[in-house]
């Protein structure tokens, strides 16, 4: 009963948790608006318009890391502040996501814009429209909310991990398993911001409207569930053998090379269809679909890389529990579902060209398996 009461109390957002959340989001809004960054054109929308994105996420991240380090050094904040208030922050962020989604839904219904970005898409079902969203690229005070929320979620993932690492270090439990997990995730997240412009050509940015699915996914699901391994390692000591650590590193490297390589090839191809792929002119199907490089191995080879990376984040936790494997399991199911949706969309869009491409590249995600 005492544990249940303590948990229930923690689920009620404290003022300190609200301060942390809104200070963080406020910083990202200001930093995103004033810090220099490459201006990247987005995909061409159905009405021939295109948005432009200021990709200064890496600079925003580095500055926030510096400010946080200064705050810890000066004694203004504890390095474990996030880990100490994890459940409170989860609750506060969830409530914020529900409020934001509701505001987006009702403002979208009242929109009279005709542009592809702001034109309301209403199915008539409240649940469907609230969940999937009404507008493609809603803005608030000049901030593209979809791009902003993705950045906020990815960066929060890193800061939660760093706070967990600080707690492990202070407790004297920062062993090889903790180091590997922290290194793999940090590399992945920092690399994401180095290549942030690649995000502008992804399915989420191009095709998904901004509803609860994306708002919750970016602000709550990514930072608070992708760190389950870190929370688990904080409470469970895992001693990895040298062989297990080497295999873990191998899976991470292969996953990273496939994931980053496939996404880079796709992004470069969209910007310049004549750019060389692995030193050779690209092979095209119907003059539109890339069938070279990773995209000649599987139709969604980037998903394979993402799944291997997710697995590498969990392997440092050993095999004594399935809990740390929630992320790769969830991601596997999500990407299979997304791949099916994407296949249906591409089949409708490209018709016979897509049929020809599928014959040339028969594997969906896993070569010779699926």
List, for residues 336-349, the tens digit of each pLDDT value: 888 888 888 888 88
Please list, residue by residue across 28-53, b when 16 or more beta carbons sit within 10 angstroms of its beta carbon and e when fewer do: bbebbeeeebeebebeebeeeeebeb
List, for residues 287-306, the tens digit of each pLDDT value: 778 888 888 889 888 899 99
The DSSP letter of residue 281 is P
- Tell me the β-bridge partners of 144: 139
Nearest C-alpha neighbor of 217 from the set 163, 162, 300, 152: 152
Gap between the Cα atoms of 108 and 129, Å rounded: 10
**Residue 10 pLDDT > 80, yes or no?**
no
DSSP 3-state of 318: coil
Helix (H) or strand (E) holding 216: helix 212-216
DSSP 3-state of 280: strand
Which residue is associated with the tokens 């699915």? 213
Give the pLDDT band (50/70/90) at residue 197. confident
List, for residues 236-288, the tens digit of each pLDDT value: 999 889 999 999 999 999 999 999 999 888 878 877 888 888 878 888 887 77
* 8 Å CB contact between 33 and 142: yes
The pLDDT value given to residue 7:
52
Burial zone of 65 (CB within 10 Å; 0-12 exposed, 13-18 middle, 19+ buried) = middle
- Tell me the β-bridge partners of 39: 54
* 8 Å CB contact between 136 and 61: no
**Residue 1 pLDDT > 60, yes or no?**
no
Most confident region among 72-76, 129-133, 141-145, 154-158 by mean pLDDT: 154-158
Question: Cα(first)–Cα(last) distance of the chain, in Å?
Answer: 48
If you average pLDDT over residues 327-331, what whole number do you get?
91
Domain boundaries, the chain: 1-173+202-239, 240-369
Give the pLDDT band (50/70/90) at residue 2. low
Gap between the Cα atoms of 103 and 263, Å rounded: 33
DSSP 3-state of 285: strand
The pLDDT value given to residue 165:
95
**Residue 195 pLDDT > 80, yes or no?**
yes
The DSSP letter of residue 13 is P
């Amino acid at each position: 009963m005492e544990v249940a009461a303590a948990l229930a109390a923690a689920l009620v957002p404290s003022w300190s948790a609200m301060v942390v959340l809104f200070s963080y989001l406020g910083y990202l809004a200001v930093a995103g608006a004033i810090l220099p960054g490459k201006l990247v054109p987005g995909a061409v929308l159905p009405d021939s318009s295109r948005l432009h994105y200021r990709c200064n996420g890496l600079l925003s991240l580095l500055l926030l890391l510096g400010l946080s380090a200064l705050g810890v050094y000066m004694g203004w904040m504890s390095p474990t502040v996030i880990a100490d208030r994890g459940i409170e922050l989860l609750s506060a962020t969830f409530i914020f996501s529900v409020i934001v989604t509701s505001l987006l839904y009702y403002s979208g219904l009242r929109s009279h814009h005709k542009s592809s970005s702001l034109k309301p898409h209403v199915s008539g079902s409240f649940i469907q429209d609230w969940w999937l969203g009404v507008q493609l690229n809603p803005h608030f005070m000049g901030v593209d909310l979809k791009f902003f929320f993705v950045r906020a979620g990815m960066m929060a993932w890193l800061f939660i991990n760093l706070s967990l690492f600080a707690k492990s270090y202070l407790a004297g439990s920062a062993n090889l398993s903790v180091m590997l997990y922290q290194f793999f995730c940090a590399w992945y997240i920092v690399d994401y911001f180095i290549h942030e412009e690649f995000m502008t050509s992804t399915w989420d940015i191009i095709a998904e409207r901004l509803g609860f699915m994306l708002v919750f996914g970016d602000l709550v699901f990514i930072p608070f569930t992708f760190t389950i391994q870190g929370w688990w390692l904080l409470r469970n000591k895992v001693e990895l053998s040298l062989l297990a650590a080497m295999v873990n590193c191998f899976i991470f490297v292969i996953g990273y090379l496939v994931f980053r390589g496939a996404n880079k090839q796709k992004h470069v191809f969209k910007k310049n269809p004549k750019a060389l792929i692995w030193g050779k002119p690209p092979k095209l199907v119907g003059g539109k679909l890339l069938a070279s490089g990773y995209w000649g191995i599987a139709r969604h080879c980037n998903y394979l890389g993402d799944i291997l990376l997710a697995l590498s984040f969990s392997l440092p936790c050993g095999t004594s529990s399935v809990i740390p494997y929630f992320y790769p399991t969830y991601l596997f199911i999500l990407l299979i579902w997304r791949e099916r949706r994407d296949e249906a969309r591409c089949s409708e869009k490209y018709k016979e060209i897509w049929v020809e491409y599928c014959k040339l590249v028969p594997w969906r995600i896993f070569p010779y398996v699926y």
